[in-house]
Chains A and B, each alone.
Chain A
Amino acid sequence: MTPLIIISVLPIVLLYLGLFKAQKALLPVAIIGMLVAMGTAIAAWTTQDQAQPIYNGMLLFNNFSVAFTVVSIISTILILMLSKGYFEKISTHVAEYYAIILFSLAGIIVMVSYHNLTMLFIGIEIMSVSLYILAGIRKNDFASNEAALKYFLMGAFSTGFLLFGITLIYGSTGSFDLDAIRDWIVTHPRKVDPLFYTGVMLIIVGLCFKVGAAPFHFWTPDVYEGAPSLITAYMSTVVKAAGFAAFLRLFSACFATIADFWAPVLMVITIITLFIGNITALYQQSFKRMLAFSSISHAGYLLFAIVALGAASANSVFVYATAYSIASIIAFGALVLVRQQTGTDDFEGFNGLAGKNPFLAFVLTISMLSLAGIPLTAGFMGKFYMFSGALLQYRYWLVIIAVVNAIISIFYYFRVIVAMYFRPAERTEVVVPAYYKFVLGFSALATIVIGVYPTLVSSLI
């Protein structure tokens, strides 16, 4: 469990660095710390996955956790590298940003490795409280304040649902432990227990809030829009991936045997999520809002893995979440740069970008192709795994609906490409700092490498 310890201590170190005005050391220390944490996480990876719960059965750090921890850390590193010089513009207290982001990362590591429902709750709370602060970190900005308040209220509600659900499950099974709950379900087959089933439903509600699945998605667009872009990037990638990891762990470890009960519910949620996310994304004028709504639709695709729960689900979620995260990081990184130059989040801001910044336009194109799920990008592999899993479970209609949605999504993803390449505009060159070049280039390369040879990531879990 060393990674969790390192990630928890690291922010305190950073706060001290901030106290002693060592601003320049913040980013390097944070990155080195995370790399060390990542190294220890990788060291915990085993070919024969026989990890046992630790800390009195509170946490289970198996390959699943390792994989999601590593991808969360990598995404966070990439986002922090983009934030070089970004937070300084917003505020003078830079150390706090790094510290809060890392605190939420600690919560995320708990979320992907819990083995006890109390730890799930604690993990989600550590993550969420940090995010409430991050969303509202631009104190004097109205939109940022609104985002924080909205996020906080909605988040508090959802936590309430989640907690209530956990309580009901505890009430009927007598335990918070995932194994104990599973054993209870197995030993009480088909025993109608309204308490327990209600608990499962409430947990679904709580988790759907967290991952931004419809109809519990109403906070997403406003919060994503109001929060600073890089915080939005963090929320829509790392947080979402972790949310699904937590979701999947609970349902595959505990509730798999009663899938008949909750699968129809989740299927309906999936379908609503896909349509709401895609159709509303279609009407956005702001690139950032489009990304927010499209992130809802991606939550819909990710739900596939849970609806069609199977041996490959963990893999599917992992590949999809990885693909989605790296593509989103490119999109948000490019957005930050374009916004700095044009002062707008709208699609028009991207007009003619290809003429002046071929590199930026190219990586953003790869990102959009990946989000749209075009072959030879990581996003396609993610969708491919999802579709395969769903077809394996005979969820044909779900796949057909997903296909229709994938077609709709082409419209808005290609709007960016069209704006960049085919709409002329007078513009000056955007300066792409070296850090951005590295992060964007790395992410684009990773997108293609995973798209061409997905075995690299798909055989990890």
Chain B
Amino acid sequence: MTVSILLLLPVLAAIVVSFIKNGSAKHASMFFALAELALAFYFLSGFVADRSIQYAIDLPWIPKFGIYFSAGIDGISMVMVLLTTVLVPIIILTTYEHQYKNANAFYALILFMQAGLLTVFTALDGFLFYVGWEAALIPIYFICALWGGENRIRVNLKFFIYTFAGSLFMLVGIIYLYLQTPNKVYDIHAFYDLALSPGQQSWVFLAFFIAFAIKMPLFPFHTWQPDTYSEAPSGGSMMLSGIMLKMGIYGAIRWMIPNAPLGFLHWVNTAMILAIIGIVYASIIAFKQKDGKRLVAYSSIAHVGLIAAGIFAWNLVGIQGALIQMVSHGINVVGMFFIWDIISRRMNTRDIDQLGGIAKVAPNFAIAFLIITLGTVALPLTNGFVGEFLLLKSVFSYGLYFAAVAGLTIIFGAVYMLRMYKGVMQGQLNDLTATFTDIKGSEKLALGIICALIIVIGVYPQPLLHISEAAANHLFNEVSHKFMNAKF
């Protein structure tokens, strides 16, 4: 069994689903997503949590240019694979109440995107990584533009151009690294072994940084994000924020910093400052949001800013924290978007001011919403806490003042999230919200799973940390070694 099955299954599934009649497309896609999940768990069961790359595949693809279909799973990848394969069925489940026009195309695109995401998270070849990167982008463009809100065309074009522009610079960086390798290969380990001058690394770092900063998104590359999230259909927002933006973070850990460690050293302060500005800036804007989905979008920028800061501090705690926070943030943000999907489907509005008192008529919904909110504000014993704690610790070791400012995210987050909760769920019922019906069926199931994950990871994160520990440690040591040997 190699990882190629994991990458191929969603592609085949997408092709099959695209031919299925609209009514049963969602069931079929759910079936395939669960099959993929089972496969991931099968891989997990045989996975040894050491630093090695497992289930590797290495086939000649365009051997003339040193391009190989080379992928494999180590601890870091495993976490991302789990995140993707767990979230996709949940996301599909959350769309069960929607009647999408051309549902078969919608679900086929989701599955195709899953293939792209998994390729990104397992690729060990620069070219394959880039292809996966773009292969995830095309479906989400169509998902958002076909099933999105009113301004979707303009907003999505902006989104597409931003991300495409970023990735082209990354492509130039990848080709540049390739040309420097002695054997002319795109292999990631050959990239790691390069000893480029600080000047060269500085450029390579920037090429990657633009791509990843746009994808995450980091301030000031974030301007596409709130619009896109709020215009996209909920399933699309979830795919984007739950999984896709993790491509940027994963890329930074796996491709950007190890490939250009000296470039990273040169730019780390700038990157750190951008990340921290983003945290504060996005939090402040989130205060003012009336639209629930936009509020979640801005809170997402703040959270991702913290993850990025934790990575840029570059220590073991930070990498571990980033990995677990990617999972937690994925789960929480999917939950949040689902909450707003439920509200906007019933009330036809996402304006917090128009809502209120829903807890009185929908107790189950209120509990789920509360758990997700608490997870997002990183209350201890929820999943958000573990990650944010580790990340702040990491930033703290980078610099006290940085940590002090970054720590604001927790306070701010608690303020705007709880204010949102209060505005929607508590207070007096009005004419609109009095008709709110409690969650049931697939909604209940999806929210139940999300809440369970929030609590389980919050109470007992150790297994998740254990998967990635050895690999993260190895990566960290390898890069730190380069820092020490660097000649300036």
Interface residues of A (CB under 8 A from B): 369, 374-376, 380, 384-385, 387-388, 391-392, 399-400, 403, 406-407, 410-411, 414, 418, 421-423, 453-455, 458-459
Contact = CB atoms under 8 A, between A and B. Distances in A.
Interface string B105-143: 000000000000000000000000011001100100010
A375 B165 contact: no
A407 B179 contact: no
B160 A403 contact: no
Q: Which 5 A-B pairs have the closest CB atoms?
A: A375-B134, A375-B131, A403-B168, A407-B165, A422-B153
13 contacts: A384-B175, A388-B178, A391-B176, A400-B172, A407-B164, A407-B165, A410-B164, A414-B157, A418-B157, A422-B145, A423-B153, A455-B64, A458-B62
Given A375-B131, A455-B63, A458-B64, A410 B160 contact: yes
Given A391-B175, A455-B63, A414 B168 contact: no
A418 B145 contact: yes
B135 A391 contact: no
Given A374-B138, A410-B164, A418 B153 contact: yes
Contacts of A455: 61-64
Given A391-B179, A399-B172, A407-B161, A374 B134 contact: yes
A247 B171 CA distance: 28
A388 B142 contact: no
B146 interface: yes
Contacts of A414: 157, 160
Contacts of B246: none
B178 to A, nearest CB: 8
Nearest to A399: B172
Contacts of A418: 145, 153, 157
Contact of A403 (B65, B138, B161, B169): B169
A411 B153 contact: no
Nearest to B133: A375
A454 B67 CA distance: 11
Nearest to B142: A421
A455 B127 CA distance: 14
Residue among B65, B131, B179 having the largest count of chain A Cβ atoms under 10 Å: B65
B26 interface: no
A365 to B, nearest CB: 9
Nearest to B60: A455
Nearest to B134: A375
Interface in B154-197: 157, 160-161, 164-165, 168-169, 171-172, 175-176, 178-179
Interface of B (DSSP majority class)? helix
Contacts of A376: 131, 134-135
Contacts of A380: 134
Contact of A387 (B146, B152, B153, B172): B172
Report, as a range, how many residues of chain B touch the other chain.
Answer: 20 to 34
Contacts of B176: 391
B175 A387 contact: yes
A387 B169 CA distance: 11
Interface of A (DSSP majority class)? helix
Given A374-B138, A375-B134, A414-B160, A422 B146 contact: yes
A67 to B, nearest CB: 15
Nearest to A394: B179
B179 A421 contact: no
A387 B171 contact: yes
Given A391-B179, A410-B157, 12 more contacts: A375-B134, A387-B171, A400-B172, A403-B169, A407-B164, A407-B165, A410-B164, A414-B157, A421-B142, A422-B145, A453-B61, A455-B62
Contacts of A375: 130-131, 134-135
A369 B138 contact: yes
A220 to B, nearest CB: 26
Contacts of A422: 145-146, 152-153
A375 B116 CA distance: 11
A359 B152 CA distance: 23
B146 A421 contact: yes
B360 to A, nearest CB: 41
A376 B112 CA distance: 13
Interface in B34-61: 61
A318 to B, nearest CB: 13
Contact of A388 (B160, B169, B175): B175
Given A410-B161, A411-B157, A455-B63, A391 B145 contact: no
A388 B62 contact: no
Interface string B56-98: 0000011111000000000000000000000000000000000
A388 B134 contact: no
Contacts of A369: 138
A418 B61 CA distance: 33
Contacts of B171: 384, 387, 403
B130 A407 contact: no
A399 B62 CA distance: 22
Nearest to B138: A374
Contacts of B178: 388
Contacts of B169: 403
Contacts of A459: 64
A385 B175 CA distance: 10
Contacts of A458: 62, 64-65
B3 to A, nearest CB: 18
Contacts of A400: 172
Contacts of B138: 369, 374
A403 B161 CA distance: 12
Contacts of A374: 134, 138, 164
Interface string B444-474: 0000000000000000000000000000000
A369 B153 CA distance: 17
Given A422-B145, A422-B152, A458-B62, A406 B168 contact: yes
